[in-house]
């Protein structure tokens, strides 16, 4: 469902609340639900991914410069997740997550983690059925390897049961329900650009930055069409 659409010149900047069970791609040879089933906008691509069993915020655009800033790990753009895990998380486990844990032979960066009360979230299409006590965490990461949050919580003995990305930088899920999308307002776009250190005086991506935009869009298109990334590929807005 489209809400409060705003078009920013020739570029589109879209927020989408990805439901559980939707593939972060526009095509899928296996016939699974994809972004195409929800977002009828041509030539936009997601900045990063969420697994099929993860939910929450996706940002899509055709602005190559801006997408590059969001996805380049050098810019340390934060992503915020609400995570339900098995068991009661101890202070020691929280400290390990904050310092970084080893995932597939590589130490994760420091991150923010805190225990929170159960959040008021829309019910998931496939309800979580825990077999014991659970804990909700708020995690803020500035990097993103494949299934990183899930690997991190598992590494400290608390497998993830439900994961919802609620924010990418200053952008949030506020006002959206699962399956809804909308364009950014001019105010949100200005705030995003400030957070990315992009000024109005930048060189437009479709002129001098065309080569970079072309590389980004080609890579995004190939990834979207495949429905998956190469094994081990970095993706700073990944879950």
Residue 86: CB atoms within 10 Å: 18
CA atoms of 183 and 166, how far apart (whole Å): 17
CA atoms within 13 A on the CB side of 204: 6
Q: Which of 70, 84, 32 is nearest to 170 (CA)?
A: 70
| Closest by CA position to 164, among listed 112, 122, 110 | 122
C-alpha to C-alpha distance for 173 and 74, rounded to whole angstroms: 25
Tell me the C-alpha distance between 101 and 118, whole Å: 25
Q: Which of 28, 37, 51, 53 is catalytic?
A: 51
- Measured from the Cβ of residue 164, the count of other Cβ atoms closer than 10 Å reads 24
Given a contact cutoff of 8 angstroms between Cβ atoms, the answer to whether 91 and 164 are in contact is: no
Helix (H) or strand (E) holding 161: strand 160-168
Is 234 noted as a catalytic residue in this protein? no
H or E element, residue 212? helix 210-226
Catalytic residues: 51
């Amino acid at each position: 469902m489209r809400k409060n659409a705003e078009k920013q010149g020739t570029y589109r900047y879209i927020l989408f609340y990805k439901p559980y069970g939707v593939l972060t791609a526009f095509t899928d040879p296996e016939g699974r639900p994809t972004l195409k089933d929800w977002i009828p906008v041509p030539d936009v691509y997601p900045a990063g991914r969420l697994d099929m069993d993860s939910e929450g915020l996706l940002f899509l655009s055709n602005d190559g410069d801006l997408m590059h800033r969001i996805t380049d790990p050098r810019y340390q753009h934060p992503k915020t997740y609400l995570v339900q895990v098995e068991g009661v998380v101890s202070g020691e486990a929280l400290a390990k997550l904050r310092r970084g844990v080893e995932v597939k032979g590589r130490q994760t960066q420091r991150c923010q983690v805190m225990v929170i009360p159960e959040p008021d979230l829309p019910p998931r299409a496939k309800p979580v059925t825990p077999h014991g006590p659970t804990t909700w965490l708020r995690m803020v990461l500035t990097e993103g390897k494949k299934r990183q949050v899930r690997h991190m919580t598992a590494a400290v003995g608390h497998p993830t049961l439900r994961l919802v990305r609620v924010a990418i930088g200053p952008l949030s899920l506020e006002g959206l329900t699962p399956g809804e999308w909308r364009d950014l307002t001019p105010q949100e776009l200005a705030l995003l650009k400030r957070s990315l250190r992009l000024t109005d005086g930048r060189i437009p991506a479709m002129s001098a930055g065309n080569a970079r935009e072309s590389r980004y869009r080609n890579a995004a298109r190939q990834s979207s069409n495949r429905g998956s990334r190469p094994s081990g590929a970095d993706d700073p807005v990944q879950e």
